[in-house]
Amino acid sequence: MVKIATPHKSLLDTFLTPALRVELGARTTRNGFRLSDIVKSGIENPDSSIGIYAPDAHSYAVFSPLFLPVIVEYHGYDVEKSAHKHDLDISVLHLPPLDPEGRFIVSTRVRVGRNLKNFPLVPGISDMQRKEVERKTVSALRTLKGGLAGTYYPLTRMSEKARQKLVSDHFLFKQGDRFLESAGANRHWPSGRGIFHSKDKRFLVWVNEEDHLRIISMETGGNLLSVFERLVRAIKTLEEKLVFEYSPQLGYISSCPTNLGTAMRASVHVKLPRLSAQKNFKKICADLGLSVRGLHGEHSESKEGIFDISNKRRLGISEVEIVKQLHKGVERLIHLEQKL
């Protein structure tokens, strides 16, 4: 969940008028979720910038008078006028090396969120349903071959020492923050949750974190095409065994409306000590369609001039377009850094 400094109005506060609250108050989804389930996190956390989570995919239809304006405002994309784009064709990508001498880019990572069809999303799922999602996912993961093959480690059977090692190496997720806690995503922790990783740890899958699956490809250096190709290979294999929630307008369904569309975040950790010292650094990135974070996520600090640079848009843009945009943007940032 994105959060910004108070005082402010969250998008929930902006769009949930008294009249709309009355209009939506009696509605329920096919799984029995109500408006109170959707807005609970935003009400309990007034400094939330979004304020709503979907407990199931049906919520986006039943409570569309609330979700749609939030989606349009956040993504800057009118889902009622256009269909979402989906494109995993890596054959159209021709990406020259971003950092052939290894002077700037520390690592590259691309991840997507996915949720299994016919199950509630993480904020609304029961413990029994969560375990069934885990079972189906692990069964599909066992079909991966070659460099994608690996081992699944359930959190319930992981030693504290092993867990801490994976967390400190930034491979494993931790229990959700207070925003996710209020949304219901931490219930029955750590039951039904775990991590799958390949032998070389360049391919990971988080099970039942904020979404049913977070599929992650990563490696040191700046070979964005290699990282994306590995991710696409994994997605296509998993799609042979699992059916994911998808909407022609909203793309891949996620519990947080900020992750709709491609549900994809492509990022690099890149050294920009001189450029980042410029007052307009974040504006330069924003103009390139990029977001800036510190090394350990939102609101964290940079270290030695290293920043996490990623795509800003997820909805109304395809996966291939995101990769092209990130490549072009990072190429420009490195060029500007070299000029200073």
Q: Using one digit for the tens of pLDDT, what is the confidence trace for 242-292?
A: 999 999 999 999 999 999 999 999 999 999 999 999 999 999 999 999 999
User: Radius of gyration of the chain from Cα atoms?
Assistant: 20
DSSP string, 115-182: -BTTS--GGG--HHHHHHHHHHHHHHHTT--GGG-EEEEEGGG--HHHHHHHHHTT-S--S--HHHHH
- 296 annotated as belonging to a binding site for a ligand: yes
> 């609101």: which residue's tokens?
299
Nearest-CA neighbor of 285 among 222, 335, 329, 334?
Answer: 329
Contact 326, 290 (CB under 8 A): yes
pLDDT at 186: 97
> What is the 8-class DSSP label of residue 244?
B
Contact 29, 58 (CB under 8 A): yes
Taking the model in full, what pTM does it have? Answer: 0.93
Q: Using one digit for the tens of pLDDT, what is the confidence trace for 220-241?
A: 999 999 999 999 999 999 999 9
Instruction: With cut-offs at 50, 70 and 90, classify the pLDDT of residue 303.
Output: low
d(CA 204, CA 224): 16
Least confident among 1-15, 17-31, 247-261, 283-297: 1-15
- 22 annotated as belonging to a binding site for a ligand: no
**Can you tell me whether residue 319 is helix, strand or coil?**
helix
Looking at per-residue pLDDT, the higher value among 94 and 8 belongs to 94
pLDDT at 168: 78
> 């491609």: which residue's tokens?
262
pLDDT at 5: 41
State mean pLDDT over 141-147. 97
d(CA 103, CA 333): 13
d(CA 188, CA 44): 20
Beta bridge partners of 292: 309
Contact 113, 206 (CB under 8 A): no
Q: Using one digit for the tens of pLDDT, what is the confidence trace for 323-340?
A: 999 999 999 999 999 999
Whether pLDDT at 8 is above 80: no
- 16 annotated as belonging to a binding site for a ligand: no
pLDDT at 159: 85
Domains of the chain, CATH where assigned:
11-75 (1.10.135.10), 90-339 (3.30.590.10)
- 108 annotated as belonging to a binding site for a ligand: yes
Q: What percent of the chain has pLDDT over 70?
A: 95
Whether pLDDT at 92 is above 70: yes
- 230 annotated as belonging to a binding site for a ligand: no
End-to-end CA gap in the chain: 35
Active site positions, annotated = 111, 210, 214, 256, 258, 265, 293, 298
- 103 annotated as belonging to a binding site for a ligand: no
* Cβ within 8 Å of residue 51, ≥6 positions away: 10, 11, 12, 13, 39, 41, 42, 43, 45
pLDDT at 160: 85
Give the chain's mean pLDDT.
94
List the structure tokens of 163: 């867990």
**Can you tell me whether residue 232 is helix, strand or coil?**
helix
C-alpha distance from residue 185 to each of 87, 91, 222 (Å): 30, 38, 34
- 297 annotated as belonging to a binding site for a ligand: yes
Whether pLDDT at 53 is above 60: yes
- 32 annotated as belonging to a binding site for a ligand: no
Contact 202, 188 (CB under 8 A): no
pLDDT at 301: 61
* Kind plus residue range of the DSSP H or E element containing 27: none
